[in-house]
């Protein structure tokens, strides 16, 4: 029922609710290898039950106002998404993230979607800081952080163990005054 346009190419952002578990799983299947290079999402979504459980965990965050998840659709197909892994209204902070199946890469979809939800976080919800954590090896995601006008706060050395390898995690952030100044 609800969709926000992400631009003239017809891309749309929509809430990603638990009843879309089947559609979400099919999308993850298409992107499993590509998405899974730096992000554990595909490891959590391996069948219909785990797909529903994952989306339910975000519905629970929405209920508690501690997180959100949104899907990106192009030509009626779910191809990726953005999320607030955490939101802390008391503290005024949130951590954003994203993923994309390979067929949808290269069109700036994630940047546009992230812009939309950060707008919402700063302007409608009054947050002060949005963070972006990313493996130092994940260049496309770092490029998004840059395009969003974020600043690199530091590198959490060896902080993320993923598929047997330790990753340095970069922390990027943008503050509310920076965001509104850049518009």
Can residue 136 be called a binding residue for a copy of itself (CB under 8 A)?
A: no
Nearest by Cα to 134 from 97, 108, 104: 97
Can residue 44 be called a binding residue for a copy of itself (CB under 8 A)?
A: no
Cβ neighbours of residue 11 closer than 8 Å, sequence gap 6 or more: 5, 72, 73, 74, 107, 109, 112
Can residue 19 be called a binding residue for a copy of itself (CB under 8 A)?
A: yes
Can residue 171 be called a binding residue for a copy of itself (CB under 8 A)?
A: yes
Can residue 26 be called a binding residue for a copy of itself (CB under 8 A)?
A: no
Determine the interface stretch with a copy of itself among 22-30, 97-105, 138-146, 153-161 (rule: CB under 8 A): 153-161
**Distance in angstroms (rounded) separating the CA atoms of residues 7 and 178:** 23
| Least distance (Å) between residue 102 CB and a copy of itself | 27
Among 128, 138, 147, 149, binds a copy of itself (CB under 8 A): 128
Can residue 166 be called a binding residue for a copy of itself (CB under 8 A)?
A: yes
Q: Measured between alpha carbons, how far apart are the two ends of the chain, in Å? A: 29
- Give SS3 for 92: coil
Determine the interface stretch with a copy of itself among 42-50, 104-112, 125-133, 140-148 (rule: CB under 8 A): 125-133
Beta carbons of 70 and 113 less than 8 angstroms apart: yes
Cβ neighbours of residue 180 closer than 8 Å, sequence gap 6 or more: 122
**Distance in angstroms (rounded) separating the CA atoms of residues 117 and 171:** 18
Determine the interface stretch with a copy of itself among 16-24, 25-33, 97-105, 140-148 (rule: CB under 8 A): 16-24
Where on the chain is the footprint of a copy of itself (CB under 8 A)?
1-4, 13-15, 17-19, 56, 59-60, 62-65, 89-93, 116-117, 119-120, 124-125, 128-129, 131, 151-161, 166, 171, 173, 175
């Amino acid at each position: 029922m609800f969709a926000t346009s992400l631009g003239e190419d017809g891309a749309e952002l929509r809430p990603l609710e638990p009843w879309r578990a089947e559609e979400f799983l099919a999308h993850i299947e298409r992107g499993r290898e590509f998405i899974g290079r730096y992000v554990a999402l595909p490891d959590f979504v391996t069948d219909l039950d785990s797909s529903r459980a994952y989306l339910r965990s975000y519905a629970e965050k929405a209920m508690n106002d501690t997180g959100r998840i949104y899907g990106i659709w192009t030509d009626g197909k779910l191809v990726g998404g953005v999320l607030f892994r955490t939101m802390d209204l008391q503290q005024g902070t949130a951590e954003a993230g994203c993923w994309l199946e390979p067929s949808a890469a290269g069109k700036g979809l994630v940047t546009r979607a992230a812009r939309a939800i950060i707008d919402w976080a700063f302007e409608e919800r009054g947050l002060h800081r949005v963070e972006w954590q990313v493996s130092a090896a994940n260049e496309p995601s770092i490029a998004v952080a840059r395009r969003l006008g974020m600043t690199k706060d530091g590198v959490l050395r060896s902080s993320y163990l993923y598929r047997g390898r330790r990753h340095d995690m970069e922390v990027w952030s943008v503050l509310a005054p920076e965001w509104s100044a850049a518009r």
